[in-house]
Amino acid sequence: MKYTVLMGALLGLVILFISAQANASEGGPELKHPNISMDRKTLQKGVEVFTEICMGCHSAKYITYRELMDYPEIGLSREAVDELRGENALLTGLITELSPEDAKVSYGKVPPDLSVITRSRAGPDYVYSLMLGFGHDPDGRIPDGHYNTYFPGRNIAMPDPLSWLDHDQEDEADLKEQARTVSSFLAFIAEPHQLQRQAIGRWVILFLVLLSIVLYALKREVWKDIKH
């Protein structure tokens, strides 16, 4: 019994250590932490920001126009989707008009597809911070519009999409909201079933805890026969 407790405690410590390590940032400035939410209003606003601003250069090929209607969390109307997709079929992904060749010429690199971007970087908080991270280089080396506090190396090829640099104070709240909603949208499309996953998970864990309690009672009962 003592051993089990000791082992369990040790294991718990190891796990705590691991999670603390994993959650610690890899270095670089402390990220901003917006309220990422996946309610319909936020996600629909995020679609707007994405299609109007980001899709100028970026694609999100794993999300189709049809899914903007079909996923209940987004639930755009047929008319809204028809407006967004123009000539594109319902089942096409959100693909930008900017060809990789043209992008290379204009920006030096191809803008990455954003379908799973919040899973491959430090999450939606990083995207949010990046949007609002455009500033002036204190060393004066990196030109305005490319200096970003949060981008590794500080020199980002992407031009300030929300025009955050030197924005008017009165626009600040609106720009922050655009960044928040588009980060939430990207977090959602990175894993569209996450809300279902958590909902089902609650029931599964409940069931397994119940099962384990019953099995424990059964074990104790059966082992009454044995002197141990």
Partner 1 sequence: MIERMLNSDLAKWLDDRSKIVQMTRAHLTDYPTPKNLNYMWSFGSLALTVLILQILSGIFLSMFYKPSAVATIGGYSVAFDSVERIMRDINFGWLIRYMHAVGASAFFFVIYLHLGRGMYYGSYKKPRELLWVIGVVILLIMQGSAFFGYLLPWGQMSYWGAIVITNLFGSIPVVGDFILQLLRGGFGVGDPTINRFFSLHFLLPLVLVAIVVIHIHALHTVHSNNPEGIDISKKDTIPFHPYFTVKDALGVGIFLTIYAYFVFFNPTGWGLFIEPDNFSPANGFQTPSHIAPVWYLTPWYSILRAFPDKLIGVMAMGLSLGLLFLIPWLDRGTVRSARYRPMYRKLVVLFFIAVLVLGYCGHSAPTEALKLIGRIATAVYFAFFILLPFVSKHEKTLPVPKEI
Partner 2 sequence: MADNTVDSKRRNFLWGVASGLGAVGAAGVAVPFVSSMMPAADTLAASTTEFDLSSLVPGQLVVIAWQGKPVFVVHRTPGILKRLTGYEHKLKDPESHADPRVEATWMKTSEQRLTRSIKPEYLVLNAACTHLGCIPLFKPSPGRAEWGDSVPADWPGGWHCPCHGSLYDLAGRVIDGSPAPFNLYTVPYKYLADTKILIG
Q: Which residue ranges make up the site for partner 1 (CB under 8 A)?
A: 3-4, 7, 14, 18-19, 22-23, 59, 61-62, 95, 110, 112-113, 115-116, 119-122, 152, 190-193, 197-198, 200-202, 204-205, 208-209, 211-212, 215-216, 218-219, 222-223, 226, 228
* Contact string (CB under 8 A) for partner 2, positions 15-54, x = contact: ----------------------------------------
Residue pair 136/148 in contact by the 8 Å Cβ criterion: no
Q: Which is nearer to partner 1, 12 or 143 (CB)?
A: 12
CA atoms within 13 A on the CB side of 227: 0
DSSP 147: B
Contacts of 145 (CB under 8 A, 6+ apart): 134, 159, 160, 165
Give the pair of three-digit tokens for residue 144: 């305005």
Q: Cβ-count burial of 215 within 10 angstroms (0-12 exposed, 13-18 middle, 19+ buried)?
A: exposed
Q: Which is nearer to partner 1, 45 or 121 (CB)?
A: 121
Out of partner 2, partner 1, none, what residue 120 binds, judged by CB under 5 to 8 A for its kind, is partner 1
Task: Give the SS3 label for residue 61.
Answer: strand
Instruction: Based on the shown chain and the rule CB under 8 A, indicate whether residue 211 belongs to the binding site for partner 2.
Output: yes
Q: Which is nearer to partner 1, 102 or 223 (CB)?
A: 223
Residue pair 165/145 in contact by the 8 Å Cβ criterion: yes
Instruction: Based on the shown chain and the rule CB under 8 A, indicate whether residue 215 belongs to the binding site for partner 2.
Output: yes
* Angle between helices 40-52 and 172-190 in degrees, nearest 10: 100
Which spans of this chain sit near partner 2 (rule: CB under 8 A)? 64, 66, 70, 90-91, 204, 207-208, 210-211, 214-215, 217-218, 221-222, 224
